[in-house]
Chain A
Amino acid sequence: MIVSMVGNPAALMRVRTSAVSGLSATLLRGFRRWLPPLAILLSLISLWEISMLIWKPAAYLLPRPHDVFSTWIDNISVLSQYGLHTVRTAIVGAAIGGSIAFASGAAVAPIPWVAQPCLAYTAMLQATPTIVLTPLAAVWYGGPGTAARTTIVAVAVFPMMFMSTVRGLSMTPPELERLMRGYAASRTKMFLKIRLPAALPSILSGLKVVVTTAMIVAIVAELFGGPTDSLGAYMRQEAAFFRSRDVWAGALTAVIFGLILYLAAALLERLLLHWDPSVRAASTANN
């Protein structure tokens, strides 16, 4: 077919997977892929630094990059500790919200006339600012502590996971269903062997979003008050004292932890779905 022969001129960002993959080849590919964004990032930071030198705004407003970096290094153990605390909130919340979403999604998916209204409501839930529930959660738990934050993360994460699960479970190829029915397979076997694996791409792709959302929601929830040994609360506190360098150092920590979580989820996806061609293509493209 002419299109496949000619190749896709619209493939603006496709990096071809190599059939041969040695360690050096992989490293080289990784290096080549990450060089442009790193280069741009470094130039932006340099621009920031230079602008600061030229215009000299007050330090409490916008800190200089190298100040932020040195502050970060100085406080790295404390920040990492806080970061882990936040990550814990995020992961626990995501786990709770995610498992409830998964369970209800799996329960509801086989019954279309229940699933569709549920999907409509979850879409509405996702459209609304669930973070604003944090003060209410604080009231409920008697204080804006970890429990309240975790609950908010769980609620924020629920819609995405629910929709990914339901969508994934409805993607079972009908031929496979018929095959299993021919084997007179039990419903459990059918679920475990066919529906669930077929649903994994959708679920794991949703997981990547869930993980980043969880981190951000956790940090924002911490802004509402509560124990200060977490990143969001720390940043709020430092902001109140106009210690902008510490605020940005906290943000830097948050970014790093967020990226680690995302990479973990992406790695999980890659491991579980190594057979899926779209995942292989996506893993080499910028997605």
Chain B
Amino acid sequence: MSVGEPRARDGRSATITLSHVGKTFLARSGATIALQDLSLEVRDRDFLSVVGPSGCGKSTLLALIGDLGGNYDGEIKVNGRSPRQARLDREYGIVFQEAALLDWRRVGENVALPLEVMNVGQGTRRDRQELVDRMLELVGLSGFKKHYPWQLSGGMKQRVAIARALVFEPHLLLMDEPFGALDEITRERMDLELLRIFEQTRTTILFITHSIAEAVFLSTRVAVMSGRPGRIVDMIDIDLPFPRLAETRQLPEYFEFVTRVRRSLTGA
């Protein structure tokens, strides 16, 4: 599979390695084993989707990688560092299922939030505005900089969230079912948008979804996760050509991959 010409990079790559990771939740009613003996590798410039049934721990997996959960067994390395260090070094951007935009800020100000928090943009407001403008152009919302979130549709809000996640130019993007709350037509459109962004920015993407079709369409590799306790039961390379367009969904190879993933999923 080819992802096209890489743009100039500063030599950093984005990788995630999980080795025999386990996570148990303790509650008054007993212990829940969310993840057990989970091993996974995300390579540089992968678009890796994790598919699995509901409650299998996909979101927990993402949380642990982002150091947004608690302790875990096993080893996780993000760009060669511990998740905590990666978070402190601001190595990744994250997009949730809910856009989580600040209602009291305009779109442009929302996208600028991480820059303000991280003191990025060489300190000058003009540099920050340039980054914001560039991101808005990337997600196709240039004319909406002055709008407020309540004026936007669901799909547009998620695009703002993506712009916000990428504005400080991380090499890694974590996405937790970002299009799950959207209707199918919007979702298909957003998939195409996301692929365009992926190709343009060469960001490594870890994508959680419960839609097999979406996983196959977007990814370079698909990891199939089992039900609780969650572990990776299969890893499938998706050899579909880039750029991926709406027509790709008609290819016989596409259906084959979808069937393969489905078989892994239901067999697991």
Contact = CB atoms under 8 A, between A and B. Distances in A.
Q: Taking the complex as a whole, does A directly touch B, i.e. does some CB pair lie under 8 Å apart?
A: yes
A12 interface: no
Contacts, number: 35
Contacts of A184: none
A6 to B, nearest CB: 5
B96 A5 contact: no
B177 interface: yes
Interface in B57-86: 57, 59-60, 62-63, 68-69
Contacts of A5: 34, 57, 59-60, 63, 69
A26 to B, nearest CB: 13
A2 interface: yes
B17 interface: no
Contacts of A127: none
Contacts of B96: 1-3
A6 B28 contact: no
Nearest to A25: B28
A18 B27 CA distance: 9
A20 B57 CA distance: 25
Given A18-B29, A20-B28, A20-B29, A1 B176 contact: yes
A2 B94 CA distance: 11
A70 B28 CA distance: 44
- SS of B interface (majority): loop
A187 interface: no
Contact of B63 (A6, A18, A19, A20): A6
Given A18-B28, A19-B28, A20-B29, A1 B97 contact: yes
Interface residues of B, number: 16
Contact of A2 (B27, B29, B59): B59
Nearest to B57: A5
A1 B27 CA distance: 18
Contact of B177 (A1, A6, A20): A1
A16 interface: yes
Contacts of B60: 2, 5-6
Contact of B28 (A2, A3, A4, A16): A16
Contact of A6 (B27, B29, B68, B98): B68
Interface string A1-35: 11111100000000010111000000000000000
A19 B29 CA distance: 6
B162 to A, nearest CB: 16
A6 B34 CA distance: 11
Contacts of A3: 96, 98
A6 B69 contact: yes
Contacts of B63: 2, 5-6
A145 B62 CA distance: 68
Contacts of B34: 5
A20 B27 CA distance: 12
A6 B63 CA distance: 7
A3 B181 CA distance: 14
A2 B61 CA distance: 9
A154 B29 CA distance: 47
B240 to A, nearest CB: 28
Nearest to B180: A1
Contacts of A20: 28-29
Nearest to B62: A2
Nearest to A3: B96
B236 to A, nearest CB: 24
A2 B178 CA distance: 11
A5 B130 CA distance: 36
A20 B59 CA distance: 28
Contacts of A18: 28-29
Interface of A: 1-6, 16, 18-20
In the A-B complex, the 3 residue pairs with the smallest Cβ-Cβ separation, listed nearest first, are A2-B59, A5-B59, A2-B176
Interface of B: 27-29, 34, 57, 59-60, 62-63, 68-69, 96-98, 176-177
Given A4-B59, A6-B60, A6-B63, 18 more contacts: A1-B59, A1-B96, A1-B97, A2-B60, A2-B62, A2-B68, A2-B96, A2-B176, A3-B98, A5-B59, A5-B60, A5-B69, A6-B59, A6-B69, A19-B28, A19-B29, A20-B28, A20-B29
21 contacts: A1-B59, A1-B96, A2-B59, A2-B63, A2-B97, A2-B176, A3-B96, A3-B98, A5-B34, A5-B57, A5-B63, A5-B69, A6-B60, A6-B63, A6-B68, A6-B69, A16-B28, A18-B28, A19-B28, A19-B29, A20-B28
